Amino acid sequence: MVNENLVKDVVKEPYKYGFVTDIETEKIEKGLNEDIIKLISQKKEEPRFLLDFRLKAFKKWQKMKEPDWAAIGYKKIDYQDIIYYSAPKQKEKISSLDEVDPKLLETFDKLGIPLTEQKKLTNVAVDAVFDSVSIATTFREELAEHGVIFCSISEAVKNHADLIEKYLGTVVPASDNYFAALNSAVFSDGSFVYIPKGVTCPMDLSSYFRINSGDSGQFERTLIIAEESSSVSYLEGCTAPMFDTNTLHAAVVELIALDDASIKYSTVQNWYAGDEKGIGGIFNFVTKRGKCLGKRSKISWSQVETGSAITWKYPSCLLLGEESVGEFYSVALTNNLQQADTGTKMIHIGPKTKSTIVSKGISAGNSKNSYRGLVKIGTKATGSRNYSQCDSMLIGDQASANTFPYIKSQQPNSEIEHEASTCRISEDQLFYLQSRGIEFEEAVSMMVSGFCRDVFNQLPMEFAAEADKLLALKLEGSVG
């Protein structure tokens, strides 16, 4: 028998992003109604079309029921007990980073995301979002030279209203699901990316989402548009302080790729997961979807999900354009009492469309980790292909793993291939590595990263190393 206590110790690494920034914030009162939505819209000085979008979404949301089909269990969320807008108090108009509250800069420094001119990351432009607002976006001028727009969605609403009006809600309509409707009604900030025709974005773009207050939800909204023959790689990271209450995070991400465009979207999600008794942690209900609108367009999702008490997330691709390509590479690690129900939907609509799904679930402690995926091949998607591989790794004997693959094909001239496996780190494997001088914890993390190799290979360089480290940290003390 593998020593269970040792396994548990490995997973017990304290959460190092759990600090709270002591900063004066402007919060609106708790609760959700039309007046609150009008207030949010007013605070953000939004055009009429957006307020209408929000109010319509709110009406839909009121008629919807919270979904209960996922393999997760949690205490009912009281939507009237949440603050829907919280922002650090700042001067009215900030013209440069020097005017950003040093406490905020310090916060992002501590998170490893320096924003100031001297220290900023060299090859990545960063949009830093703190609770409900975007604090700063780096490299804007450099990007503008290439015609690339990278800013907070609030700014985009002001400066590029035409693009917002044209594309917002076209991939994830407000009525799509309960959490998407809620987000559409109350979303506060997030990132906006526009890559013009023929442009290869000169650097990686990245958003860093930080939840700071314990009683407000975060509802970010991200929209990325890649025009014909353009390409972009976008990274997203998330952390939150440790509170013993649960914080709701309901984001919507929409991607649009036109002819020959490609979008690579990578996430490292490390929201606070709650303690070992399952107290506290983020409820992460996220709708992410990409539309391959153009011919030969490509959208690739890669995600490393290690945080949150609950993860409910299915980054998907709508493959409309002929020969368009959708990819989903995922590593989901759960420990203690974490629950994850995650996967993807690949909807093949256009002919000769292709999709690849590689999912690696690792469950340790008493956690529950489910892959849920849909591959649908429509009547017009002749000559389309899907390949899915879903592997689960169990650590200890209290964790559980499920795989729910749904396959619907209406097109006989198409191919769907699905492989699944479940494994356990065996005592023999551990002993073999240990007998070669490799310490127990390193042996475990070697095997876990070996298990995730196919996915890590898809991550941008700077993320792959971080993901590897993050997994090792999360597993420290968990295997035996």
Partner 1 sequence: MQSKMKESDPILEVENLSASTDNLPILKGVSLTVYPGEIHAIMGRNGCGKSTLSKIIAGHPSYNITNGDIKFLGENINSLEPEERSQSGIFLGFQYPIEIPGVSNLEFLRVSTNARRKFLNKEELDTFDFEELVKEKLEIVKMDHAFLSRSVNQGFSGGEKKRNEILQMALLEPKIAILDETDSGLDIDALRIVASGIKKISNAQTGIILITHYQRLLDEIEPNYVHVMSDGQIIKTGESDLALELEKRGYEWTDNFIKET
Q: Are 167 and 198 in contact, with CB atoms under 8 Å apart?
A: no
3 state DSSP class of 421: strand
Applying CB under 8 A, the span of 103-111, 340-348, 394-402, 446-454 interacting with partner 1 comes to 446-454
| DSSP code per residue over 438-469 | --HHHHHHHHHHHHHHHHHTTS-HHHHHHHHH
Applying CB under 8 A, the span of 129-137, 268-276, 327-335, 452-460 interacting with partner 1 comes to 452-460
Contacts of 312 (CB under 8 A, 6+ apart): 70, 72, 179, 284, 285, 286, 341, 342
Number of residues counted as binding partner 1 (CB under 8 A):
25
Which one of residues 97, 279, 446, 473 is an interface residue with partner 1 (CB under 8 A)?
A: 446
Residue 428 has φ and ψ, to the nearest 5°, of -65, -40
Burial of 65 (0-12, 13-18, 19+ CB in 10 A): exposed
453 near partner 1, judged by CB under 8 A: yes
438 near partner 1, judged by CB under 8 A: yes
- Our CB check for partner 1 shows the closer of 402 and 429 to be 429
Applying CB under 8 A, the span of 162-170, 327-335, 381-389, 439-447 interacting with partner 1 comes to 439-447
- Our CB check for partner 1 shows the closer of 159 and 434 to be 434
- Report the nearest approach of partner 1 to the CB of residue 9 (Å): 14
Q: How far apart are CA 315 and CA 296, in angstroms?
A: 20
Q: Are 12 and 478 in contact, with CB atoms under 8 Å apart?
A: yes
- Report the nearest approach of partner 1 to the CB of residue 93 (Å): 51
Helix axes 34-43, 178-186, angle to 10 degrees: 50
User: Can you read off the two tokens belonging to residue 380?
Assistant: 């017009």
- Report the nearest approach of partner 1 to the CB of residue 431 (Å): 6
- Report the nearest approach of partner 1 to the CB of residue 233 (Å): 24
402 near partner 1, judged by CB under 8 A: no
- Sign of the C-alpha dihedral, residues 117, 119, 125, 131? negative
Which one of residues 61, 187, 265, 451 is an interface residue with partner 1 (CB under 8 A)?
A: 451
- Our CB check for partner 1 shows the closer of 35 and 427 to be 427
Which one of residues 449, 458, 463, 466 is an interface residue with partner 1 (CB under 8 A)?
A: 449
| Percent composition of the chain: helix, strand, coil (DSSP 3-state, to 5) | 25, 35, 40
- Report the nearest approach of partner 1 to the CB of residue 319 (Å): 29
- Report the nearest approach of partner 1 to the CB of residue 390 (Å): 15
- Our CB check for partner 1 shows the closer of 9 and 109 to be 9
- Our CB check for partner 1 shows the closer of 413 and 426 to be 426
Quick note: the x/- pattern for partner 1 over 405-434, rule CB under 8 A, is: ---------------------xxxx-xxxx
- Report the nearest approach of partner 1 to the CB of residue 362 (Å): 12
397 near partner 1, judged by CB under 8 A: no
310-313 vs 325-334, strand pairing mode: unpaired
Q: In whole angstroms, how large is the CA radius of gyration of the chain?
A: 22
461 near partner 1, judged by CB under 8 A: no
User: Can you read off the two tokens belonging to residue 31?
Assistant: 């609760």
- Report the nearest approach of partner 1 to the CB of residue 354 (Å): 25
User: Can you read off the two tokens belonging to residue 208?
Assistant: 């860093």
- Report the nearest approach of partner 1 to the CB of residue 430 (Å): 8
3 state DSSP class of 92: coil
Task: Kindly state the helix (H) or strand (E) to which residue 401 belongs, with its residue range.
Answer: strand 400-409
Residue 128 has φ and ψ, to the nearest 5°, of -100, 120
Which one of residues 98, 406, 450, 465 is an interface residue with partner 1 (CB under 8 A)?
A: 450
472 near partner 1, judged by CB under 8 A: no
Q: How far apart are CA 242 and CA 267, in angstroms?
A: 21
Give, as ranges, the residues between 2 and 61 that touch partner 1 (CB under 8 A): 3
∠ CA(360), CA(362), CA(365), 5° rounding?
170
Task: Kindly state the helix (H) or strand (E) to which residue 143 belongs, with its residue range.
Answer: helix 140-145
For residue 410, CA distances in Å to 317, 353, 379, 405, 416 come to: 18, 14, 5, 17, 12
- Report the nearest approach of partner 1 to the CB of residue 454 (Å): 8
Count of other CB atoms within 10 angstroms of residue 98: 10
Count of other CB atoms within 10 angstroms of residue 365: 21
Give, rounded to a whole angstrom, the gap between the first and last alpha carbons of the chain: 9
- Report the nearest approach of partner 1 to the CB of residue 6 (Å): 10
- Our CB check for partner 1 shows the closer of 352 and 360 to be 360
- Our CB check for partner 1 shows the closer of 282 and 447 to be 447
Applying CB under 8 A, the span of 186-194, 263-271, 275-283, 443-451 interacting with partner 1 comes to 443-451
Applying CB under 8 A, the span of 134-142, 154-162, 305-313, 438-446 interacting with partner 1 comes to 438-446
Which one of residues 440, 463, 471, 479 is an interface residue with partner 1 (CB under 8 A)?
A: 440
435 near partner 1, judged by CB under 8 A: yes
Binding site for partner 1 (CB under 8 A): 1, 3, 426-429, 431-440, 442, 446-447, 449-454
